[in-house]
Amino acid sequence: MKKTDLELLTNENNLNTNDDSIKTIGDSHWFTGLNTPMREDAFEVSNDDKKEKIADLFKEIMTVLGLDLADDSLKGTPKRVAKMYVEELFSGLNPLNMPDITLFDNKYQYNQMLVEKNITFYSNCEHHFVPIIGKAHVAYISSGKVIGLSKLNRIVQHFAKRPQVQERLTNQIASELKTILNTEDVAVIIDAKHLCVSSRGIKDDASTTITSYYGGAFKTQAKIVELQNYLKD
């Protein structure tokens, strides 16, 4: 299997993965490539085995922190966290969980942009494993096929349900839509709050991060302005 983008980048730049290098990277959006960095054996372990192992490891973390796992409120936490990780928060890591997509012929002859805005999503920062909470705005111009509106939401949520960097999330959604719809005329805008910024570190609760992808016809100034007008409250 092809080496991950991170491995290639590490070899090319002779990046040292010691503590000093990690501190240098810090809170930067370390965007290593379009694909989420995954090990080759990522899916050789069953979900049940993953949950059992994660529960054991999280129990150890809680113990190191000094928590009393004999307490009624805490004793079930390791298993709850493990289930949440595998079945919910990071379920988008498994390609088998990609939503089924049905396309329809564009019988309406609608040839202008279709915009689905304010798609709420919850993701997690891959640097600190704390939440990213935001809204995605997705637009496309049909090349002959249209997609069910709810499927746009599901695609956004699938890629959000993995440890993420917002730049990668934006591009992954756009890439998937271009492939499914067989068109370059796709736009994705994401506006999100990162709890790694608001709840720790600089502790800035007011700022949000905006990323965008404009493809095909959306690269023109006229289309960008038209799209942004639709997104105004």
Considering 64, 81, 97, which residue would you say is the last residue of a domain?
Answer: 97
Please tell me which residue in 137, 157, 158, 166 is annotated as part of the active site.
Answer: 166
Please state which of the ranges 10-19, 20-29, 111-120, 205-214 shows the lowest mean pLDDT: 10-19
Number of domains in the chain: 2
Which domain CATH number covers 133?
Answer: 3.30.1130.10
Structure tokens at 99: 């939503």
Rounded to whole angstroms, how far apart are CA atoms 191 and 136? 7
Least confident of 16-30, 90-104, 120-134, 177-191: 16-30
Residues 61 and 115 in one domain: no
Which whole-number Å values give the CA distances from 57 to 54, 77, 83, 160, 208, in the listed order?
5, 12, 13, 24, 33
- Catalytic one among 125, 137, 164, 176? 125
Q: Identify the active-site residue in 127, 158, 164, 176.
A: 127
**Per-residue pLDDT at 220:** 97
Choosing from 126, 137, 172, 176, the catalytic residue is 126
Active-site residue 88, yes or no? no
Residue 23 has pLDDT above 50, yes or no: no
Query: Using one digit for the tens of pLDDT, what is the confidence trace for 99-138?
Result: 999 999 999 999 999 999 999 999 999 999 999 999 999 9
**What value does the mean pLDDT of the chain take?**
89
The answer to whether 137 is a known catalytic residue is: no
Residue 33: what pLDDT?
80
Whether the predicted pLDDT of 72 surpasses 80: yes
Res 24: pLDDT:
46
User: For 3-12, 18-27, 59-68, which range has the lowest pLDDT when averaged over its residues?
Assistant: 3-12
Question: d(Cα 56, Cα 58) in Å, to the nearest integer?
Answer: 6
Catalytic residue among 157, 164, 176, 196: 196
Tell me what the mean pLDDT of segment 94-101 comes to: 95
- Rounded CA separation 88/123 (Å): 10
pLDDT band, very low/low/confident/very high, at 233 (cuts 50, 70, 90)? confident
pLDDT interval class at 204 (50, 70, 90)? confident
So what's the pLDDT on residue 123? 98
Residue with the two structure tokens 């372990």: 45
Active site residue 112: no
Domain encompassing residue 141: 103-231
Q: How far is CA 233 from CA 150, 193, 228, 230, in A?
A: 21, 18, 10, 8
What per-residue string of b and e applies to 85-100 under the rule 16 or more CB within 10 Å gives b?
bbeebbbbbeeeeeee
215 and 139 assigned to the same domain: yes
In this prediction, residue 32 carries a pLDDT of 62
Considering the domain architecture, whether residues 146 and 118 belong to the same structural domain is answered as yes
> Which CATH number fits the domain that encloses residue 93?
1.10.286.10
Catalytic residue among 52, 116, 128, 226: 128
**Is there a single domain that holds both residue 78 and residue 119?**
no
- Of 2 and 196, more confident: 196
Burial class of 145 by CB neighbour count within 10 A (0 to 12, 13 to 18, 19+): middle
Specify the amino acid at residue 18. N
Asked whether residue 49 falls in the same domain as residue 155, the answer is no
